[in-house]
Amino acid sequence: MELVLNIEPKPQSRPRFARRGNFTTTYEDKGMKAWRNSCQLLIANQYMGQPMLEGALRARLRFYIKPPQYLSKVKKYHQALLDEIIPVDKKPDIDNYEKALYDSMSGIVFKDDGQIALHDVGKFYSLNPRIEIEIEEMRWNG
């Protein structure tokens, strides 16, 4: 199964804490919640009518991230940006992008992200920010 989500990848944010009298509550950044809702809608629209994946899963994810201005303004990098071959070697960490995406997919594509047994994940600069997903059930004779 393959999906292309035309949305700027966003890393999972840290939980926020607030004191309410004697209690401390945990909440999520509003921007993260809005991003996840948009992402879930894109996933649901593309995955509609297909059964939820079961068992162990193999995932191949590519996060295409908008390049910083210093990179996009330099002419010698233009073709590499078009070819989407410049790896992102800066924060945020790749696992934070992955976590935000898997949380958005849970309950639509698979029950829980704990089903991901094997993953191949990359983050690259691109003039066309998006997320590309390939996910499939791993078959074994057990």
Give me the tens of pLDDT residue by residue for the chain, a chain 142 residues long.
999 999 999 999 776 667 777 877 776 678 899 999 999 999 999 999 999 999 999 999 999 999 999 888 888 889 999 999 999 999 999 999 999 999 999 999 999 999 999 999 999 999 999 999 999 999 887 6
Rounded to the nearest 5 degrees, what angle is found at the Cα of 46, between the Cα atoms of 40 and 49?
A: 105
Q: How far apart (Å, rounded) are the C-alpha atoms in residues 117 and 132?
A: 18
Q: Is 51 helix (H, G, I), strand (E, B) or coil?
A: coil
pTM exceeding 0.85:
yes
Domain architecture of the chain: domains with CATH: 2-137 (3.30.1330.70)
Residue 105 CB burial class (10 angstroms; 0-12, 13-18, ≥19): buried
Residue 28 tokens, joined: 């999520």
